[in-house]
Amino acid sequence: MLHLDHANKMLRMSTKDFNALTGMLNHPEHFSDEVFGFHAQQAIEKASKAWLDLLKVEYRRIHDIGELFNLLRLNGQQIPLEFLELQDLTDYAVDYRYEPLESDDPSINRREIIDKVNNFIGFVRQKVSDEEKNE
């Protein structure tokens, strides 16, 4: 049961980062791509950790979404193809947290990121819900 409690806690934290994203959507003048990308990365990281909690898999305190996805795969989980590119958000938790994007880097598509993050959180939330029904 503790694993479900922690999974739900991580999903709540993921949702807080997602809510920050939606608040930033129409205000690029106040929130840089680096800040927006950081919260997108955090939402995916925490949802991934919720999924791992559900499986009772221990993980290190890491920000690397690719490494979290690999842990999920190693534990028999399949990451839907539509979510694989979310691994690219790792750069916002590491590189762009302390260094600005280069001026020639394209702006991120905020609407697209919000949709993908929302879908991933919903995907993990459904897994947690299914597990709760089986408890």
Domains of the chain in start order, with CATH, are 2-134 (1.20.120.330)
The answer, as to whether pTM is greater than 0.85, is: yes
Query: Which tens digit of pLDDT belongs to each residue from 71-82?
Result: 999 999 999 999
- Report the b/e string of 72-89 with b at 16+ CB within 10 A: beeeeeebeeebeebbeb
Q: Angle 23-26-31 (CA atoms, 0-180°, nearest 5)?
A: 70
- Residue with the bigger pLDDT between 55 and 94: it is 55
- Look at residue 105 and tell me whether its pLDDT is greater than 70: no
Which pLDDT belongs to residue 1? 63
76-97: average pLDDT: 90
Cα torsion 28, 29, 33, 39: sign: negative
Token pair 């949802």 in the structure block, residue: 47
